[in-house]
Structure 1
Amino acid sequence: MGTTIQLDKSVRDKLKELKLYPGESYNKVVERLISIKTDEGELSEATIREIEQSLEDIKAGRTLSMKEVKQRLKIK
């Protein structure tokens, strides 16, 4: 059995923008958003540290171009 909910027009418009195709129901959009949130979860402390380290590497110029990566991996 379905339930009717009230949404502000701005919320409905945002949901409409999130549709993957014109005929996708708002129910499917909401299910997908819930699934994304459920799957993501919270970042662990270790993951946060790794992200911070990566950002420091980028700022310090410790990066490789795609060309350099291909050369190191001997990929054409």
Structure 2
Amino acid sequence: MYMSSMTTIRISHQTKELLDDLKHHPKESYEDVIGRLATMACDDEPLSDEEIEDMKASLDDIKAGRVKTLRTVRNEMGI
């Protein structure tokens, strides 16, 4: 029988509570929670040059004040 290698990690009580809150069900293991988070953190589709340029343009708009708040848009739309 094959047994995968394991290790022990040390985390704070606060981090453990955060992990507890991220469990999909109470009996889900921390191994599964941490694995899911690690997988989500790895982006297998990096941003394209076009997407990066669009983000830079958006930041320029924000810096130049060419934006509206959600409140302003809601008021303009009457919602």
TM-score of Structure 1 vs Structure 2, range by shorter chain: 0.5 to 0.7
Mapped partners of 1:64, 1:25: distance in 2 = 44
Instruction: Indicate yes or no: 2:72 matched with 1:68.
Output: yes
2:6 matched to which residue of 1? 5
Change (3 A) 1:51 1:7: farther
Give the TM-score of the pair, scaled to structure 2. Answer: 0.61
Greater mean deviation of Cα atoms: 1-10 or 49-58:
1-10
> How far 1:49 moved relative to its partner?
0.8
> How far 1:43 moved relative to its partner?
1.2
User: Displaced runs of 4+ in structure 1, greater than 6 A?
Assistant: none
**Structure 1: gaps (5+ residues):** none
Mapped partners of 1:27, 1:2: distance in 2 = 15
Q: Deviations over 1:7-65 (max 9, x none)?
A: 4425xx96x44441484312212331243145x33111111111111111111111102
Give the TM-score of the pair, scaled to structure 1. Answer: 0.63
Mapped partners of 1:3, 1:26: distance in 2 = 16
Change (3 A) 1:2 1:25: farther
Aligned residue pair count = 71
